[in-house]
Structure 1
Amino acid sequence: MTGTADGADLAAWIRLAAERVAADAGRLTSLDAAIGDGDHGLNLDRGLAAAVAALPDGAPPGKVLTAAGRAVVSKTGGASGPLYGTALRRAGKAFGDADPIDAAALGAGLRAALDGVRELGQAAGGDKTMVDALIPAVASYDAALAAGTGLAGCARAAADGAAQGADATVPMQARKGRASYLGERSIGHMDPGAASTALILRALADTLTERD
């Protein structure tokens, strides 16, 4: 297992994630319009822009993510703010004061993020939420880590798992959130939270890969 990431790397990830969400906000909002409030892309774009503005200079990874998470909570509307903010802050807390972090630490951060989202949203796999992208992302990361894969490779595995998980939400019937009110009419649409989770984790993988 090779590779580490410092605070600058994590800040670069948040910046890239913000750029990609901004570029894809229309698609994310369209996905949400089909089964939700129709504001997911716009809200997350605003929240990540605030996260970028709040990034501290020269801070370790944990402080970078906790600062980003606080900004997301304060500036993102709807359910997305608390969920994504919790994910970032839980990951940051899991990192502690470590600087840099290694592949094992990043995996622990992703598991902490998943646990935080589960606790806050009370969602399980198969409910058609962002959890359906996070569960396979963490599982894929852990499998890559156990196989001795380096940091960037583990992150790519997580991104692939998240993308597969997002695709898998299309045939699901929503059991949580506003989409659950639609019943069977929620079938046939990708969950917007799972879609944005996959996008954000791909940004992490690309940041670590391009750096290497």
Structure 2
Amino acid sequence: MADTLGVEWATRWIEGCAAAAAEHRDELIDLDREIGDADHGENVDRGFRKVTEALGAQAPGSVDELLKLVAKTLISTVGGASGPLLGTAFLRASKAAKAAESGELGAGDAAALIEAALEGIQSRGHAEEGEKTMVDTWAPAARAAREAADGGASPAEVLRAAAEAAAQGAEATIPLKATKGRASYLGERSVGHKDPGATSSAYFLAAAAAAADAAKGGE
């Protein structure tokens, strides 16, 4: 249905995440080399490759089942902080999807999914907006998604608004001083660098929007 998002959309989304992780692997490694362990790009690329393998083997029949499988796979295969954080984000997102009527996501459900993912990240990482983490991507994305949904936008428009806000949020980490995670050890030296976790999250949210656009077009 054009007005809702189902398992086909979720599958396209995760395939898009895997493609983005592979495409931007070196970029994310370089960003993480500046303020971290230089392994973020490798970790998320490996994790989403494992996710696509798992989905190919199991083919979940609903959005919530698919996102739950994504969560479990990321937690078990992604090193560093990213695995638990992203895994918890997708786990909370799966619960939000399960609450949607008929298993199909409307505009409000799409916004709730992103809000749930943000809550999962914050509950796991105890980070707040402005601390130069992936929260600086997910928080504006959640606000934009809710505003769009409350304004009568379609699910695809909700996710596009979220993706645009996420991209802006990632860019906004450049002048910030890190106060959470490994980058916080650098203090003022973290200023002037884009956060790798915020950057990859922006790519993943862009993939969600692109998948919704494709579903809307009936492709």
Shorter-chain TM-score range: over 0.9
Relative to the length of structure 1, the TM-score reads 0.97
| More deviation, 191-200/2-11 | 2-11
Alignment of 1:94 with 2:91, yes or no, is no
Alignment of 1:174 with 2:174, yes or no, is no
Distance 1:14 1:39 in 2: 21
Secondary structure of the structure 2 residue equivalent to 1:149: coil
Residue of structure 2 aligned with 1:68, choices 70, 89, 102: 70
Alignment of 1:119 with 2:134, yes or no, is no
Please, which runs of 5 or more residues in structure 2 have no aligned partner?
none
| More deviation, 170-179/87-96 | 87-96
Secondary structure of the structure 2 residue equivalent to 1:132: helix
Distance 1:146 1:6 in 2: 20
- Report the RMSD for the aligned CA atoms in angstroms: 1.1
Secondary structure of the structure 2 residue equivalent to 1:4: coil
Distance 1:76 1:160 in 2: 26
* 1:95 Cα deviation after fit: 1.5
Match of 1:34 in 2: 34
**Mapped contact 2:132–2:178 kept (Cα < 8 A):** yes
Secondary structure of the structure 2 residue equivalent to 1:117: helix
Distance 1:177 1:58 in 2: 34
Match of 1:57 in 2: 59
**Mapped contact 2:51–2:73 kept (Cα < 8 A):** yes
**Mapped contact 1:8–1:58 kept (Cα < 8 A):** no
- Deviations, residues 24-64 of structure 1 (Å, cap 9, x unaligned): 10001100000000000000001111111122325110010
Please, which runs of 5 or more residues in structure 1 have no aligned partner?
none
| More deviation, 70-79/91-100 | 91-100
Alignment of 1:107 with 2:111, yes or no, is yes
Identical-pair percentage: 43
Match of 1:44 in 2: 44
What count of residue pairs does the alignment treat as equivalent? Answer: 211
Alignment of 1:10 with 2:10, yes or no, is yes
Q: Letter of the 1:182 partner, please give it.
A: L
* 1:147 Cα deviation after fit: 1.1
Q: Letter of the 2:44 partner, please give it.
A: L
* 1:211 Cα deviation after fit: 2.1
**Mapped contact 2:105–2:155 kept (Cα < 8 A):** no
Distance 2:154 2:202 in 1: 20
Distance 1:72 1:124 in 2: 22
Distance 1:47 1:101 in 2: 25
Q: Letter of the 2:83 partner, please give it.
A: G
Distance 2:19 2:60 in 1: 21
Distance 1:64 1:103 in 2: 19
Secondary structure of the structure 2 residue equivalent to 1:94: helix
Matches within 5 A, 1:124-203: 124-203=128-207
Distance 1:138 1:207 in 2: 18
